[in-house]
């Protein structure tokens, strides 16, 4: 039995929700291993639509154990609110179905306020203003409040003082009132009883379940191109989004990961600031955006749209060790006379086959396109290769050649049944 990691192979929003939900039916445990409630998954199950930001997708599947790993930064109020929202939809999340890592870092109101201030400046990155970045800063600065700290309220005083020594200095620089230690303490003391029942030693729990032969599905947020190390820095998220983070973000050793499934759209989108070589700020980009309903699950922001960039996906295949690709939203390209695919870049007069790490160089790369004939017959709702137009199959095969990775799963609509499976990741 294989343990599978699912990662986005572009800038996020690739349709991971449907794929993770589809795979979670075969898994015993679903683990969220990085990010925060700045990411979102939309799950369509029958007539019900679930929008998840922090909770693993497995929570909507009865009998599945869902886990939030130590690599996630957790806004405790957002956690409480999301559990309450699901309850209104008839999904009960209990301590038996959800466990949260005791060593996960908490997002506090002061983190949200700090990020909002930064995003109002000319140096904005294009974040969701949810406090994710400042919380990760406190984590690596060794001053964060962690989930386990809620279980020992009398010991919080020195930890809050250490946190505020940093944050109040920043606030004074911005001309803001300082945060009083009692304010932070009262907030934490009030939220603690609501979330502590979910706390666990996740690394130990996962190791036990692995030894029992349970199937574990690791669910990433955002996409590999937003990785703090390997993404389009500084226009990235504040955590490692590549597949290797599944191990560090859960406490399970890397030798426990058997298969990495990358999720990828048949075109490219991006939310927020930063380089986007194949972006189409024209009628084509508008059509793709409208057909694909390209609006963020969490923010509602319109996504930037463009042609498929094989250079970037080939790069993430390597940095994530992707074994197979799930290609989504092929149906959005139905009806185009011709479709372009980026096969290389031109930088300062020379051709290159990768995205350079430097911000200035990234902004100067020009895409080299290959033009592929489109198809007029619909691919929407297809459930087998035989139902696909021949030219659509040629498009998929050309993508495989360019990125050096097989397409093992094809999605042709938001409905989970509209999926063409070539290889089951859990049966490797």
Q: What residues are annotated to the active site?
A: 13, 41
Q: What is the 3-state secondary structure (H, E, C) of 275-341?
A: CCCCECCCHHHHHHHHHCCCECCCCCCECEEECEEHHHHHHHHHHHCCCEEEEECHHHHCCCCEEEE
Beta strands 268-270 and 304-306 are antiparallel
Strand, coil or helix: 99: strand
Residue 302 preceded by cis peptide, ω within 30: no
Distance CA 127, CA 114 (A): 12
Nearest to 33 by CA among 5, 1, 63: 5
Q: What is the 3-state secondary structure (H, E, C) of 159-183?
A: HHHHHHHHHHHHHHHCCCCCCCHHH
- The one-character DSSP state at 26 is T
For residue 48, the surrounding DSSP H or E stretch is strand 48-52
Distance CA 2, CA 246 (A): 14
Distance CA 357, CA 87 (A): 44
Q: What is each CA distance from 336 to 183, 202, 284, 368, 392, in whole angstroms?
A: 57, 48, 9, 19, 11
Strand, coil or helix: 154: helix
């Amino acid at each position: 039995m294989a343990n599978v990691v699912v990662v986005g192979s572009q800038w996020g929003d690739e349709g991971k929700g449907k794929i993770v939900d589809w795979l979670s039916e075969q898994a015993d445990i679903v683990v969220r291993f990085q990010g925060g409630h700045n990411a979102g998954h939309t799950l369509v199950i029958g007539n019900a639509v679930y929008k998840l930001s922090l909770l693993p997708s497995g929570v909507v599947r009865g009998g599945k154990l869902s886990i939030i790993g130590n690599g996630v930064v957790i806004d405790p109020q957002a956690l409480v609110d999301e559990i309450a929202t699901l309850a209104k939809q008839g999904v009960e999340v209990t301590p038996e179905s959800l466990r949260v890592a005791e060593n996960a870092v908490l997002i506090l109101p002061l983190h949200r306020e700090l990020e909002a201030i930064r995003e109002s400046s000319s140096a904005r990155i294009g974040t969701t203003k949810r406090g994710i970045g400042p919380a990760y800063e406190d984590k690596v600065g060794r001053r964060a409040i962690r989930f386990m700290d809620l279980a020992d309220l009398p010991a919080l005083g020195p930890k809050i003082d250490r946190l505020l020594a940093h944050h109040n200095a920043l606030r004074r620089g911005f001309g803001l009132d300082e945060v009083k230690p009692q304010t932070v303490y009262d907030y934490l003391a009030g939220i603690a009883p609501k979330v502590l029942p979910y706390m666990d030693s996740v690394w130990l729990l996962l190791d036990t379940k692995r030894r029992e032969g349970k199937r574990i599905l690791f669910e990433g947020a955002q996409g590999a191109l937003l990785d703090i190390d390997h993404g389009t820095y500084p226009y990235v998220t504040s955590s490692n989004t590549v597949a290797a983070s599944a191990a560090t973000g859960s406490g399970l050793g890397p030798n426990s990961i058997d298969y990495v499934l990358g999720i990828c759209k048949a075109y490219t989108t991006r939310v927020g600031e930063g380089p986007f070589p194949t972006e189409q700020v024209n009628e084509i980009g508008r059509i793709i955006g409208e057909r694909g309903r390209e609006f963020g699950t969490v923010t509602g922001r319109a996504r930037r749209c463009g042609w498929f960039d094989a250079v970037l996906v080939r790069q993430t295949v390597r940095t994530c060790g992707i074994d197979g690709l799930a290609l989504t939203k092929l149906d959005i390209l139905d009806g185009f006379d011709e479709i372009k695919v980026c096969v290389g870049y031109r930088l300062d007069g020379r051709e290159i086959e990768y995205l350079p790490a430097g911000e200035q160089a990234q902004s100067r790369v020009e895409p080299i396109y290959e033009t592929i004939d489109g198809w007029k017959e619909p691919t929407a709702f297809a459930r087998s290769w035989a139902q696909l137009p021949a030219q659509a199959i040629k498009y998929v095969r050309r993508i495989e050649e360019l990125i050096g990775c097989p397409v093992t799963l094809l999605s042709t609509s938001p409905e989970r049944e509209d999926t063409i499976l070539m290889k089951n990741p859990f049966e490797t």
